[in-house]
A = this chain, B = another copy of it.
């Protein structure tokens, strides 16, 4: 699995630099915002963050304000950092929706351990499959399970066959060149005399034909393949 994405919102450039270097080798990628507004902008930019590290003392918008605004729309775990060791601050932050609270100056290893604990806990969430099924006429393809159904029958496709069908169905009504198929599905440039794609398409047609009368994949000689949809 890929690295964990963190967002650090803190105006202390020395600290952000330090943490960035400290956390990188542990498998974290750190984005940095130096004030509250920039922090919110980044957090709501659409990029997914596994965890947000939020300083309390911030220019423009303080940490509590940022926390309050973010919590309206985002459930990303938030670990707050503060210069003050004030208990009331901690309590307030946690009550307002922060997941953890660490007072500066902190032991780097403790921060790292707390980040790890939070990310670990969150990773228990089942991988949300936001991908929805792709259905054209009587063929339905499910990216989540990598299964394809034709008139309700499960097709036993290989990985490559599935990928080619997926690509063609995504581009239904449009011509897809062999070059494109080769690069996107097989991950290599199409070489002269390479017949692999032809073979996969042939097998795919054979399997589709078991449960389907009409020919879905049309050949455009010298150009590529086309997935047909009924008018």
Contacts and interface: CB of A to CB of B under 8 A. Distances in A.
A199 interface: no
A127 B223 CA distance: 15
Interface string A170-182: 1101111001100
Contacts of A189: 1
A158 interface: yes
Interface stretch (A10-18, A29-37, A112-120): A112-120
A119 to B, nearest CB: 11
A121 interface: yes
Interface residues of A, number: 51
B90 A113 contact: yes
Interface in A59-75: 75
A154 B205 CA distance: 22
Interface string A112-148: 0110111011111111011000000000000011100
A77 interface: yes
A50 interface: no
Most buried by B among A146, A158, A179, A189: A146
A148 to B, nearest CB: 12
B127 A171 contact: yes
B125 A129 contact: yes
A145 B174 contact: yes
B145 A180 contact: no
B113 A124 contact: no
A100 B125 contact: no
A129 B127 CA distance: 12
A107 interface: yes
Interface of A: 1, 75, 77, 87, 90-91, 94-95, 97-100, 107, 109-110, 113-114, 116-118, 120-127, 129-130, 144-146, 158-159, 170-171, 173-176, 179-180, 183-184, 189, 220-223, 226
Given A99-B117, A129-B174, A146-B220, 11 more contacts: A77-B121, A91-B110, A98-B117, A99-B118, A100-B100, A123-B184, A124-B129, A125-B129, A145-B174, A146-B175, A159-B220
